[in-house]
Amino acid sequence: MDVDDGDAGLELVHLLRRITGRLDLMGSEFAAANGLHPTDLRALVHLLDARREEIPATPGWLSGKLALNSASVTALVDRLVRAGYVRRTRDNRDRRRVLLTVQDEAVRLGWAFFGGITRDMVSAMREFDGAELAVARRFLERMHDVVRADKPSDPVVRLLPLDEATTERLLTVAVHEARPADVMPPARAEWTPDTWTPATENAFREFHRSHFHGANGTVMYAVEAEGSLTGMIRMARISPDEAETGMWLGRSARGKGIGTAALRALLAEAAAAGVRTIVADTSTGNAAALGALRTCGATLTHHGDDVRAELPIG
């Protein structure tokens, strides 16, 4: 589709480019003043984001974020370790895996860079009401879906119907990379939503076993990407023509296009089963789910913070 020079959308693109250009310049100036390469600063920003979002950051994960090869990332991490900004640790659950942990000095540096501009931006946002900010958020999330650097073109995903063996593998992913409340309904009094214990693990097994082979009208699939299980997606029949879906992914699998690929694969399964419409419920704060739903052609209806998605098939 051609873009006309007078298109209001094009004006917004130019405005976004000016803002990002100015922020890049500020970052380069700040990095130079603190003896860092601009790429080192970008790495610290990603690591601080990972800490805030509770994503396990590894050298491989950072390599994907920065589009650098492993040797370059190793040299970069070495610099950050020597400067006291990052520490390498072994994952307690998998001693073969190295985790990158940001130190207090990195947090101080990040606040020195972002603190002032963050306060000014938050202050400026008070000029807008909640509805205006909600529209701005949806706009920026959609633009992020378009430009994010770590988005693969077509991740290869398979959906595996759950059985005993697959459920055990999926439980390992859940324990390492999700909370109990993220992966099953919090309906049992013997476990808490944030802590994995023998009781929560047994509750996970029982919940998923109850849907083996499409029992209760629900088919659950483990999502496999690049040979590893990354999460689960379901298809629950509401009527002969309509089904509901929901999904969870482990932290390290998010932001890689896997959710969108899994949803597309589910739509193919639904079509083969004679389903004509898939529906899903999410919230305005779930940017990843909204991005996947939009990309797959869903119609979204907003009711406050709740969002209803409808995906026609065929």
- Break the chain into its structural domains and give their ranges: 8-127, 159-312
**CATH architecture for residues 8-127:** Orthogonal Bundle (1.10)
- Give me the tens of pLDDT residue by residue for the chain, a chain 314 residues long: 455 655 678 888 888 888 888 888 888 888 888 888 878 888 888 898 888 888 888 888 887 777 676 777 888 899 899 989 999 988 777 667 788 988 888 888 878 877 888 889 999 999 999 899 989 988 888 888 777 655 555 678 889 999 999 999 999 999 999 989 889 887 654 566 778 888 889 999 999 999 998 888 899 999 998 788 999 999 999 998 899 999 999 988 888 889 999 999 998 888 888 888 999 999 888 888 888 898 888 899 988 889 999 998 86
Residue with tokens 């694969």: 265
Please give the class, per CATH, of domain 159-312.
Answer: alpha beta
- Please state at what angle helix 38-53 crosses helix 70-82, rounded to 10 degrees: 80
Distance from C-alpha of 152 to C-alpha of 73, rounded to nearest angstrom:
20
**Residue of 222, 218, 221 lying closest to 237 (CA atoms):** 218
Q: Which two tokens stand for residue 261?
A: 């690929």
